[in-house]
Amino acid sequence: MGGRKGQESFPVLGISRYHEGLFSNNSLLFHELHGERHIDRPHKHDFFMILLFEKARGMHKIDFIEHSLGDYQLHLVFPGQVHQWHIEEETVGYQLMVDRSLFEHIVPSFRFPQTFYQKHPVLQLSPEQFTTLRYEFGQIGQSLQCKNICWPLLTSRLQIVSLLVSLVLEGMFKDIQVYNINPILSKFSILVDRYFRESRSVGFYAEKLYISANYLNILCRKYMFISASFLIQDRVLLEAKRLLKVSDRSVKEIAYELGFYDQASFSKFFKSKTGVIPSAFREQN
């Protein structure tokens, strides 16, 4: 692997590699999970994955944060996120994989910015919530077995799942009220996810929101208890971690991709946030 002896490349995995033996179409797969599974090295997907666990023990690491598996949980992995897991033998679960084009059709059914779901990728369900979602997963699986698939119906069921996930998330986390109270912050979050490679300037985003940089900072501090620049830098840092772990790009190439003038400025930024230089982070297990 270029510039890294002894290191593997962790590819971005496409949905097509998972079709064999599953209830599937080119853009949607349903799969039942039974027993022990391991992903020892982190990797990315180019599709959306949603996992519904009935019984589960083990660990699921999403974007470098470790989550303990438990009964009646819902796990979300969005395109581009990095994940790995160690699932123990007694696990029973259900998995939907949605390719990017179909995912774009259901995105409006997620009631909040995608970054918020990524912030809370593991949801603890009540037995009633689990039963409702399990029914929808089962209906999707049955529909995929039909000779003539009714795609409007399948898309509608995926939209229902997205809405149900939003309702669960809204009931669990108080910080979601920020987006209901002030839609500017919701738009800001979406803009950061779109333009973080292009600009780390608060003024850049404030201009697109038709407000001053000072007012944007006031809103962030009032409702999110962080500065606007912290939110931007946090998104840059997350992408840097992803690229260091799952790409074969050099540190210099990653620095330029993320909009830094040179490797030195990127390394300084990364160490100030993590305590280690990029190359050391890359070598960590």
Residues 166-220 pLDDT 10s? 999 888 877 666 666 678 988 998 899 999 999 999 999 999 999 999 999 999 9
Give the CATH number of domain 182-283. 1.10.10.60
Contacts of 134 (CB under 8 A, 6+ apart): 52, 54, 94
Higher pLDDT, residue 112 or 12 = 112
CA end-to-end span of the chain = 17
Average pLDDT of the residues in 247-259: 93
Residue 8: pLDDT over 50: no
Among 126-135, 169-178, 247-256, the range of highest mean pLDDT: 126-135
Give the CATH number of domain 12-173. 2.60.120.280
Q: Please enumerate, as own/partner, the contacts of 270-279 that have beta carbons within 8 Å and a separation of 24 or more.
A: 270/237, 270/240, 273/233, 273/237, 274/237, 278/240, 278/244, 278/251, 278/254, 279/251
How many Cβ atoms from other residues are within 10 Å of residue 12's Cβ? 14
Q: What is the DSSP letter of 7?
A: P
Q: In Å, how far are 97, 104, 221 from 62, measured between CA atoms?
A: 16, 21, 27
Which pair of tokens denotes residue 53? 């666990």
Residue ranges of the chain that CATH labels 2.60.120.280: 12-173
- Which pLDDT band holds residue 98 (cuts at 50, 70, 90)? very high
- Which pLDDT band holds residue 267 (cuts at 50, 70, 90)? very high
User: Containing H/E element for 189?
Assistant: helix 183-195
What is the Cα 60 distance to its own chain's centre? 13
Residue ranges of the chain that CATH labels 1.10.10.60: 182-283
